[in-house]
């Protein structure tokens, strides 16, 4: 079927190798929740730009919702500035590739709590950022030692006419371990390439970090309209849920690919 390709032919390990390129930015990510729903690829195809294919695992596409917090975001050679460098974010995503190569991420939306960060990302990278009011509370560690409970609430403020909210309460519930190559978890979280469209052209950006220190997560509350705002019908089945405490990330210069 046009627009889809067997996942068996795609090299998913090569993007995990640190590229020999110029680093342009550093970021720290904390208390990430990876929620994923399995969806029919036909539902996403109209939402993906020309030049990209919906990436599949066992014949299914996946939509992800990821809340987290960022600190220490700064370009190389410029010190971190808290109003821009520290903020909370939630993104809605799926996974794509280009004709069987370069498997990466396509963002439907990104909501962040910093107006300056939103303006910078929209202007410099063409990313669909929205300004949001976000409450992010890290509660004390559980007696199990597996990690804290996170209480997260979001209300989109601007731009755009489509309102969106999100309220999630989550906590890790298993020991830490990396995702194994070939598993669904690896397919979902070990993503190091990002696609954007800017001035009608397709661009590819790269990041690098160690493998995710992944844990299974328990979600005790989930009320959100972010997927609906992105014109995605959320499945009735509960999502897959994974947690990662933190990650240090290098961001590399973008390249035009079409």
Answer yes or no: is pLDDT of 5 > 50. no
Peptide bond into 159 cis (omega under 30): yes
Q: Which residues, including other chains, have CB under 8 Å from residue 140's CB and lie 6 or more apart?
A: 148, 149
Gyration radius of the chain's alpha carbons = 17
Between CA 9 and CA 14 the distance in angstroms is 13
Per-residue pLDDT of 175-203, as tens digits, reads 999 999 999 999 999 999 999 998 899 99
Residue 2 pLDDT level (bands cut at 50, 70, 90): very low
Please give the mean pLDDT across all residues of the chain. 94
Answer yes or no: is pLDDT of 4 > 70. no
Between CA 155 and CA 137 the distance in angstroms is 15
* Residue 232 DSSP one-character state: -
The predicted pLDDT at position 1 comes to 36
Classify domain 7-16+30-256 at the CATH class level.
Answer: mainly beta
131 touches 112 (CB < 8 A): yes
Per-residue pLDDT of 90-109, as tens digits, reads 999 999 999 999 999 999 99
Q: Which residues, including other chains, have CB under 8 Å from residue 158's CB and lie 6 or more apart?
A: 130, 131
Q: Report, as an integer, the average pLDDT of 217-231.
A: 97
**CB half-sphere exposure, 230, CA atoms < 13 A:** 29
The domain ranges of the chain are: 7-16+30-256
Q: What percent of the chain has pLDDT over 90?
A: 85
């Amino acid at each position: 079927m046009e627009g889809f390709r067997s996942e068996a032919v795609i090299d998913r390990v090569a993007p995990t190798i640190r590229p020999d390129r110029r680093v342009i930015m550093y970021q720290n990510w904390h208390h990430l929740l990876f929620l994923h729903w399995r969806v029919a690829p036909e539902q996403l195809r109209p939402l993906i730009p020309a030049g990209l294919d919906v990436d599949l695992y066992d014949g299914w596409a996946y939509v992800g919702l990821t809340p987290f917090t960022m600190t220490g975001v700064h370009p190389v050679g410029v010190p971190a500035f808290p109003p821009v460098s520290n903020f909370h974010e939630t993104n809605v995503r799926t996974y794509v590739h280009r004709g069987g190569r370069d498997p990466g991420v396509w963002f439907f939306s990104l909501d962040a709590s910093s107006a300056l960060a939103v303006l910078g990302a929209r202007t410099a990278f063409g990313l669909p950022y929205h300004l949001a009011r976000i409450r992010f509370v890290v509660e004390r560690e559980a007696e199990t030692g597996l990690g804290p409970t996170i209480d997260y609430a979001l209300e989109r403020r601007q731009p755009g006419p489509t309102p969106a909210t999100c309220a999630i309460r989550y906590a890790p519930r298993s020991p830490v371990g990396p995702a194994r190559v070939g598993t669904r978890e690896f397919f979902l979280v070990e993503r190091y390439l990002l696609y954007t469209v800017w001035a009608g052209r397709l661009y590819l950006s790269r990041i690098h970090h160690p493998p995710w220190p992944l844990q299974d997560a328990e979600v005790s509350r989930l009320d959100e309209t972010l997927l609906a705002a992105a014109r995605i019908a959320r499945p009735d089945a509960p999502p897959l849920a994974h947690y990662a405490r933190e990650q240090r990330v290098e961001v590399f210069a973008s390249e035009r690919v079409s």
